[in-house]
Amino acid sequence: MHSLRITVIQDAPEPRNPAANLARIIEQLRRGDADLVVFPELFVTGYQTGGLPELALSPNDPLIRTVAAACRETSTAVLAGFIEPANHGFYDAYLAIDRDGTIHDPIRKTHLFGNERAAFLPGDHLAPVTLCGTKIGVINCFELEFPEVARTHVLRGAELLIAGSANMHPYELDHRIAATARALENRVPLAYANRVGKESGHHFCGSSRVISANGETLAALGTAESAEISATVDTGRATSGPTNMLAQRRPELYA
């Protein structure tokens, strides 16, 4: 177990302008003091489900390599939502770059919401990614409402959960409760980054927060403000005492 300082960005991206939004990510990296900076779902493009070919970026795109250089320069890792091209479509995915500039395989959203199902392919696996020497389970928006996603990440070694979102009204309460529940039931800290503003007919509802492994809210934002919060969390599961949930599971009953 070790401490990790996380900055959560709650903001509205510029719709359909990856270059501008990636520049904002670089600016944040250069002026912050976090180990890990987390941006909302699809922050690189805005919440778009049409005209995807001109928005999608491969992980080795020069624009993304510029972000990787900024991560290396500032010794800061980043998680940011983007659109990844594939052979037969596109993924709603998370860009994961470590503090040394290593670009990891994109983390693809496995549970798609509403019109996303017509626009994106679903990811087909769940696995933690290692950033800052910490195994992190990345949860993408609607996935937060499935306890199995977070639990699978933790069973596979995740010491920290990061949930990025483009959650909209009227579902603010759903995610606020779910974020605390996922942290508490797995006894790991969770950082939740949701966007604000209006786009594509949706009104996004913020409420970004950082939650401890005991379910305590360490820092939180409101539903409309463009702002950031930072908190230092102790990564790893709280495994002592009668609340060690994983040690008391009975998987033979759950199938």
| One-character DSSP codes across 75-126 | T-EEEEEEEEEETTEEEEEEEEE-TT--BPPPEE-SS--TTHHHHSPPP---
Phi-psi region of 165 (alpha: psi -120 to 50; beta: other; left: phi over 0): beta
237 or 104, which is more confident? 104
Q: 162 - beta bridge partners? A: 138, 191
pLDDT tens for each residue of 174-187: 999 999 999 999 99
Is the confidence at residue 242, as pLDDT, over 80? no
Question: pLDDT exceeding 90 applies to what percent of the chain?
Answer: 93
Average pLDDT over residues 175-201: 98
Q: Is the pLDDT of residue 3 over 70?
A: yes
The mean per-residue pLDDT over the stretch 232-243 comes to 79
Residue 26, pLDDT above cutoff 70? yes
Residue 185 host element (H or E): helix 172-186
**What are the pLDDT digits (tens) for 103-137?**
999 999 999 999 999 999 999 999 999 999 999 99
Q: Which of these, 196, 139, 189, 135, lies nearest to 164 by C-alpha position? A: 139
> Given a cut of 80, is residue 143 above it in pLDDT?
yes
**DSSP secondary structure of 128-181:** -EEETTEEEEEEEGGGGG-HHHHHHHHHTT-SEEEEEE--BTT-HHHHHHHHHH
Give me the amino acid identity at 26: I
Residues serving a catalytic function are 41, 109, 141
Local confidence band at 243 (pLDDT 50, 70, 90 cut-offs)? confident
pLDDT value at residue 227: 98
Q: Where are the domains of the chain?
A: 3-253
Measure CA of the first residue to CA of the last residue in the chain; give whole Å.
32
Q: What is the pLDDT of residue 125?
A: 97
pLDDT > 70? residue 240:
no
Say yes or no to pLDDT of 1 above 90: no
DSSP run (H or E) holding 22: helix 18-31
**pLDDT at residue 75 greater than cutoff 90:** yes
Over residues 203-230, the pLDDT tens digits come to: 999 999 999 999 999 999 999 999 999 9
Q: What is the pLDDT of residue 40?
A: 99
Point out the least confidently predicted range of 37-46, 72-81, 231-240, 246-255: 231-240
Coil, helix or strand at residue 71: helix
| CB-CB neighbours of 102 under 10 Å | 14
User: Which pLDDT value is given to residue 50?
Assistant: 97
Q: Is the pLDDT of residue 241 over 80?
A: no
Question: Model pTM?
Answer: 0.97
pLDDT of residue 239: 67
CATH class of 3-253: alpha beta
